[in-house]
Amino acid sequence: MLTHVLFLLFVALAVYVQGLTGFALSLVLLGLVGVTEVVSLTDAANAVTVLIVVNAGIFLYQRRSLRLDRSLWPAAAASLLGTLAGMAVLTVLAAGAYDVLRALLGVCIVGCALLLWGTPDPLPKVSPPRAFLTAGGLAGVLGGLFSAPGPPLVYLMYRQPWPLARIQESLIFFFGIGALLRLAVFAPTGLFSANAALLAAEAVPVVALVTPLTARYPAPFSPPTVKKLVCLLLVVAGAGMAGSAVLALV
């Protein structure tokens, strides 16, 4: 019972962060799950897939005036192949290398946090299509592997000369589409366990409660402060997960 309550608290925090930044739901939730091991990391990743879809639907409904930039479509196309490749790797690792998966995700989370922490100022003009193509492909691999596609595309999007609200809405839309694809592939194959379905069912009401609040009300801190706090949380969670996984392997 306590593990489920703790998992739901992690979900609430991750959804809140997602609403403020447009990313990090997967990274925050999987980072906290990985370092505490309250539930299986594989089941948590599959549950997160459902939560991202729900979060995106509710958030974008609250922001019905959203405007999606055409630059996202090359990224979306490239992410399809990347997602399939990531899911193939996950199938291999989850079968007999659980701690390797945890260590890999922990290192990835720390690296992504440091990358996002040092995001330079916005560019004077929108990046070329090849940049979105590359970021979309890398995001697809991470999405298929960990259900955490954020970092490559987030880094690129936050460099665009766009308002913060437009960046948030575009990212949440993109991640929702990617999660829907992952769910459509995993669910019929039997890789989506009953426990993952239970975790998702428990967490959906939390997502439904927290998401509208973050969509309607602005963050109490400035965007740079929010980003730094999120990155600090990711570094702590990712380092803790990677460290415990390495100790288990040794």
Half-sphere exposure at residue 95, Cβ-oriented, CA atoms within 13 angstroms: 6
**What average pLDDT does the segment 190-196 reach?**
83
Q: Sorting pLDDT into bands at 50, 70 and 90, what band is 120?
A: low
For residue 7, the model assigns a pLDDT of 94
Q: Are 146 and 44 in contact (CB under 8 A)?
A: no
Whether 9 shows a pLDDT value over 90: the answer reads: yes
Whether 225 shows a pLDDT value over 90: the answer reads: no
For residue 186, the model assigns a pLDDT of 77
- The backbone region for 12, taken as left when phi is positive above 0, alpha when psi lies in -120 to 50, beta otherwise, is alpha
For residue 119, the model assigns a pLDDT of 64
Whether 200 shows a pLDDT value over 90: the answer reads: yes
- Structurally, the chain folds into a number of domains equal to 1
Q: Quick: pLDDT tens for 159-168.
A: 888 887 788 7
Tokens of 99: 């701690």
For residue 25, the model assigns a pLDDT of 83
Higher pLDDT, residue 4 or 115 = 4
Mean pLDDT computed over every residue of the chain: 82
**What average pLDDT does the segment 141-166 reach?**
81
**What average pLDDT does the segment 149-156 reach?**
80
**What average pLDDT does the segment 88-114 reach?**
78
- The backbone region for 190, taken as left when phi is positive above 0, alpha when psi lies in -120 to 50, beta otherwise, is left
Q: Quick: pLDDT tens for 88-97.
A: 887 777 666 7
pTM given for the model: 0.81
**What average pLDDT does the segment 64-84 reach?**
77
How far is Cα 214 from Cα 218, in angstroms, rounded to an integer?
7
**How far from 56 is each of 48, 84, 173, 177, 217, CA to CA, in Å?**
12, 21, 6, 9, 16
Q: Which domain, by its residues, includes 42?
A: 2-249
Single-letter amino acid code for the residue at 5: V
Tokens of 220: 């109490």
Whether 213 shows a pLDDT value over 70: the answer reads: yes
Nearest Cα neighbor of 59 from 218, 227, 216, 223 is 216
Q: Sorting pLDDT into bands at 50, 70 and 90, what band is 112?
A: confident
For residue 201, the model assigns a pLDDT of 94
Whether 8 shows a pLDDT value over 80: the answer reads: yes
For residue 11, the model assigns a pLDDT of 93
